[in-house]
Structure 1
Amino acid sequence: MSVIASDAVKGRMLKIKFGELIGRIGGLEAAASFCRVGKSTLARYASIVQADAECFAPIDVVRDLEALAGEPIVTATLCGMADGVFVAVPNSPPGTGDLLTMMSALSSEFNDTTRVVCDGLVDGNFCANDAAKLERELDDAIRVAVGMRALARSIHGGER
């Protein structure tokens, strides 16, 4: 796929995800009441017709609407396009007394991850279903690790 085609596909995906974000909020009218642009402009941001191909939502609009939706629908897509994964950092890290609890939880998550891999390999065929289970377990482990990271950062005074 050429770079131009790839960019067009990525742009279309962002517009589709922005449309999903609008839908999650309850539609154009609801979304317009929570951001700085009106319904017709929001509709253009989600439109996949050629005339609107270069019309994308500004980041502050995406930020405001994702906060309202409670899910980083567009941001997660952008992370994927950058070969990354979106992982939310807790707004307030747990207290230092929770460090051992979190370490135990992380150890448990890694044990669960190992179990899923072993279960998937029992029949000699690690299939798509096994991979989906593994991904869910890894997501859980990542969430616990990010919580621990936030705690460590809050202790040494680093930025979020």
Structure 2
Amino acid sequence: MAEAARDPTRRLVAITIDENSIGRAGPDVEHERRVAIYDLIEDNTFAPEGCGAGPFTLHIGLVDRKLGLQIRREDGEEVMTHLLSLTPFLKILKDYFFICDSYRSAIRSASPSQIEAIDMGRRGLHNEGAELLGERLKGKIVCDHDTARRLFTLIAALSWKG
């Protein structure tokens, strides 16, 4: 769906990361985080259920080993905080990081068909992570599949050790 067709009251306009809980990382990881945030802000559908119109801002941090999603309206009014257990994502993230490492290695020496096969596996895991995220947010936060994919990318970038 084109961005112009999206409801401007059901979207994120800013995302910040709690550096105290998640911490700084190496340049590659920081770059991945910035790209994930940029992509998410550029194109998303996001709205807390039953909380009225936005647009919204999202502040992400870790709270008791859970992902804290603090949502505010653009003017700063607090809307809600949702804590999301990362436990259901651990296996997908582990597999995702493994296949991403395999992809980076394959680029140097594998055939185009081998690289494509690895990339298809990576996309499949990415979709699996997005579907799990969509299920975990159901009834709490409305987001479309593309937004769930971008949020999963951000969760992966926040979890990636480099």
Is this a same-fold pair by TM over 0.5? no
- Structure showing the higher helix proportion among its residues: 1
- Structure showing the higher strand proportion among its residues: 2
Higher relative contact order (CA 8 A, sep 6+): 2
